[in-house]
Amino acid sequence: AQSVAQPEDQVNVAEGNPLTVKCTYSVSGNPYLFWYVQYPNRGLQFLLKYITGDNLVKGSYGFEAEFNKSQTSFHLKKPSALVSDSALYFCAVRENSGNTPLVFGKGTRLSVIA
């Protein structure tokens, strides 16, 4: 069975500083990995994904994530945080076969302080 762990409930960072939101995953085959962001009272918005190829993927709003197969991790990063990045971030994984559903982590609340 596939699963995702986001070890931090909350990440606080000062505006302008780099941010990292951690994610580790478990799947039996090769993973498809995703990051989504959720603003208050809104649906989930796609940020970026890893399917294959380059381990560093770049996404929306200046976010990037690094796939590390040996550590089964897919941490989300941004070089310089903005107050507007404050939101709930979800990591998700699914196996690269058939109609397996996307399984989400419990979410990490990012708070960027001015």
Partner 1 sequence: DTAVSQTPKYLVTQMGNDKSIKCEQNLGHDTMYWYKQDSKKFLKIMFSYNNKELIINETVPNRFSPKSPDKAHLNLHINSLELGDSAVYFCASRLTGDTGELFFGEGSRLTVL
Q: Is residue 94 within 8 Å of 103, Cβ to Cβ? A: yes
Q: What DSSP string runs through 37-85?
A: EE-TT--EEEEEEE-SS-SEEE-GGG-EEEEETTTTEEEEEESS--GGG
Provide, rounded to whole angstroms, the least separation between the CB of residue 44 and partner 1: 4
Stretch that binds partner 1, among 13-21, 28-36, 61-69, 71-79 (CB under 8 A): 28-36
| 28/98 with CB nearer partner 1 | 98
74 binds partner 1 (CB under 8 A): no
Q: Is residue 47 within 8 Å of 63, Cβ to Cβ? A: yes
Residues that bind partner 1 (CB under 8 A): 32, 34, 36, 38, 41-46, 49, 51, 88, 90, 96, 99, 101-104, 106-107
